[in-house]
Amino acid sequence: MWTFTSSVEEYAAVAEPFLLGDPVRNTVPLTVLANLRAGMPVKDPRYGWWTVDGEIRGAVFHTPPFPAGLFAVPVEAVAPLLEALDGELPVFVGPLEVTVEATRLLGTPARIVSERLFRLGTLAAPGTPGRGRLAVAADLPLLVSWYQAFGDETGMGEGDIVERVVRRLEGRELFVWEADQAPVSFAGLSPEAGGVCRIGPVYTPPSRRRRGYGAAVTAYASRVALAERCEQVVLFTDLANPTSNAIYQAIGYEPVSDYAHVTYR
């Protein structure tokens, strides 16, 4: 049975212990929960949990304008979820087996982005010229423009970008790589949740690509995460981009499982 609420406190009390049972695969719902507790603005949220014989077996969240998160939804709960939502699930992301079941029931989507979750094994930092540093307030205009460019390239630029960058700067979640004393790439690092931090997004402007800057800033942020913030580091990649997948594996990231970002309109 699915139960829904708009109260993050009620959702957290019920779902968080379940989500913490697998903090790597549940990195996104746990991070969203951490951000909500930290004051992230949200309009018309919906949170839900799936129970079988009184036991929590799944959880879902939707914080518009972002996709619904089906990360912790079991396959057998997909059909009841769609029924409870009257088939209204225009954009969602989740494990491959879950999204396959959802699209089987909903029909052919307008767009599917295939993704893979990686977890850091042994970090192997590249010898890229330059240095990494924590982003500061003076970086705001540049980071906003890079966030916008990242969203335009990936089609995943939902929400108020300025608000998001400001919030992440204040949370010490953004890092830049400098070469020749100028920023050339950046990476985000999510707050720790269940002992796990997540890298993302990572962006290098086209004129600066193929020089190792994306790998360098990812490795730098990963090292800071392990040294100061969490026990494990993960990231998602777009499987349509073999270059980035190879780069992340070269610095020590190992595949965990596959996901899909599905859009119907």
Does the residue 16 lie in any domain?
yes
For the segment 161-188, what is each residue's pLDDT rounded down to a tens digit?
999 999 999 999 999 999 999 999 999 9
Does the residue 154 lie in any domain?
yes
**Residue 239 belongs to what H/E stretch?**
none
29 and 98 in a single domain? The answer is yes
**Tally of structural domains, the chain:** 2
Residue 39 is predicted with a pLDDT of 84
For the segment 20-76, what is each residue's pLDDT rounded down to a tens digit?
999 999 999 999 999 898 888 888 999 999 999 999 999 999 999 899 999 999 999
Domain membership of residue 99 as a residue range? 2-108
**Residue 3 belongs to what H/E stretch?**
strand 2-5
| In the predicted structure, residue 115 carries a pLDDT above the cut 70 | yes
Judged by DSSP in three states, 67 sits in coil
Among 76, 108, 140, the domain boundary falls at 108
> What is the average pLDDT across 124-129?
95
96 and 183 in a single domain? The answer is no
Sign of the dihedral through C-alpha 225, 162, 36, 201: negative
Backbone Cα Rg of the chain? 18
CA 7 to chain centre: 22
Q: How far apart are CA 204 and CA 211, in angstroms?
A: 10
84 and 165 in a single domain? The answer is no
62 and 98 in a single domain? The answer is yes
pTM recorded for the entire structure: 0.93
104 and 124 in a single domain? The answer is no
CB 131 within 8 A of CB 219: no
Residue whose entry in the numeric block shows the structure tokens 């769609």: 82
